[in-house]
Amino acid sequence: MITIATAENALKNIYLESVIYDINKKTNPFLTMIEENTKTASGRNARIAIRCGNSAIGVGTETGALPTGNTDKQIDVSVPLKNLYGTFQISDKALKSASIDPNAFSSLLSGEMENLVSAARNNLTTMLYGNGKQLLAAFNVTDFNSGRTVIQLNAKNIGNFSNGLSVAIYGANGIKVNSASTTISAVSTSSNTITLSTALPANKNDRFYIYRSNDDGSFMNGIDSVFENMPYGLNLDANPELSPYKYSEGSSDLKILNEEEVMDFFTRYEEHCQSMPADIILTSSTVKKAIFESLRNTHSNISVTELAGGFKGFTFNGIPVYSDIKCKGGTLYALNSNSFAIHQLGDWDWIKDDNGSFLHQIAGTPTYGATLTRYCDLICDKPFLQGKCSNYSANKWKD
């Protein structure tokens, strides 16, 4: 007879390990490349040494004094660990219907766990390309009405909005484009539109991102956090040597980020870093297509490669390129994966009660639930080795 105890045992001893692997190693090649570190966790925070500069190799005469090398600069920061959760639910009826046949029971649990993994991957990828704030929706410049107050959204995002919600809207270049007092004045679930209390100004971005204004900081720091003015609370004005390289297209007309533009970015990025430390390029699918088409049109050799985790891509300037639908349109990141780590108290695990049990009936419902959790954050200890190219078009193509 299959019971709740049987299901709990299967979730713990059969499915948990594979779920952890699928979430950590099959979500994104960049996440697969970086290390997982439990040594820095202290209480609710991770204590990290942010480093900049390199020890010098000096020269001198045969009989003179030895040269003095430069000591690496180090700034200690404390970053709160975020709380990531994944929920598993199964109805009593489904459990009883599958309890007679072990194969049906296995299929039932497998299907529910696949749903959990899929949701975890989606949320983790969203946070990976973010800045620690909750992304509510993204839209194109073509989704405005003529008054620049009504915005057409994807149906799956309309539920993120309510009347009176205060929002912050950013262009693909990371610059805020709306006034501080902007709120949602109307939400239509029939037309999947929201109405802003104040009109957005004319802006050359063709892709925009809506965040909750008063964000509580519960989301994991993503790659964009490195390019904030004060990453992890660091003052880059006081520590300019820590600054990553940021290049934002500044012409009056939007350009496509093709081979020529990317090479110009990498030249500037290499000058900034005094090296070429990037080992992966992350970008949007439209940028990847533009680079690919540009390489093909110039009859350049296109080398297909397999990235960490079995993901596919091609190389540009010897560096693997991977596109992701969650990456901001018209944006490209040149990243040194060795500078990043997931700092955590431990890997994914079920939240257990005092008796070690984790699958319980949800109060007032004929459903059983369990919660998978991971206390962690993504942190970069060498921001100055990272590069970002942004504010290019995500929609138009050059002839």
Residue 54 placed within a domain: no
Kindly report the number of other CB atoms within 10 A of residue 247's CB atom.
20
Residue 105 confidence class, pLDDT cut points 50, 70, 90: confident
What CATH number has the domain bearing residue 103?
A: 3.90.1690
pLDDT in tens, 278-334: 999 999 888 888 888 888 888 788 888 999 889 999 999 889 999 998 998 889 999
pLDDT in tens, 146-204: 889 999 999 989 999 999 999 999 887 778 899 989 999 999 999 999 999 999 988 77
Sign of CA dihedral 166, 169, 174, 179: negative
Contact 136, 157 (CB under 8 A): yes
Residue 278 placed within a domain: yes
Q: Say whether both 152 and 280 belong to one domain.
A: no
pLDDT in tens, 52-76: 755 556 677 778 887 665 555 788 8
Q: Say whether both 30 and 178 belong to one domain.
A: no
Q: Say whether both 201 and 98 belong to one domain.
A: no
Q: Say whether both 188 and 320 belong to one domain.
A: no
- Dist CA 267 CA 271 (whole Å): 6
CA 145 remoteness from chain centre: 30
How would you classify the pairing of strands 207-212 and 167-171?
A: antiparallel
Q: Say whether both 346 and 223 belong to one domain.
A: yes
The backbone torsions φ and ψ at residue 335, rounded to the nearest 5 degrees and listed phi first, read: -125, 145
Q: Say whether both 37 and 127 belong to one domain.
A: yes
pLDDT, residue 398, reads 38
Residue 35 confidence class, pLDDT cut points 50, 70, 90: very high
Q: Say whether both 99 and 197 belong to one domain.
A: no
Q: H helices within the chain, ranges in order? A: 4-10, 16-25, 29-33, 92-98, 102-128, 259-273, 285-297
Compute the residue count for the chain.
399
Q: Say whether both 147 and 280 belong to one domain.
A: no
- Dist CA 350 CA 11 (whole Å): 9
Asked whether the predicted pLDDT for residue 132 surpasses 80, the reply is yes
pTM: 0.87
Q: How far is CA 62 from CA 59, 67, 70, 169, in A?
A: 10, 11, 21, 62
Residue 382 placed within a domain: yes
Residue 302 placed within a domain: yes
Residue 2 placed within a domain: yes
Instruction: Annotate 195-205 with b (16+ C-beta within 10 A) or e (fewer).
Output: bbbeebeeeeb
Q: Say whether both 125 and 141 belong to one domain.
A: no
What CATH number has the domain bearing residue 146?
A: 2.40.30.10
pLDDT in tens, 336-357: 999 999 999 999 999 999 999 9
**Count of the separate structural domains present in the chain:** 2
Identify which has the larger pLDDT, 124 or 254.
124
* Residue that is last in its domain, among 162, 190, 212: 212
pLDDT, residue 72, reads 59
pLDDT in tens, 201-230: 887 778 899 998 877 778 999 999 999 888
Residue 141 placed within a domain: yes
Q: What angle do CA 73, 223, 36 make, to 5 degrees?
A: 75
Residue 175, domain extent? 135-212
Contact 328, 172 (CB under 8 A): yes
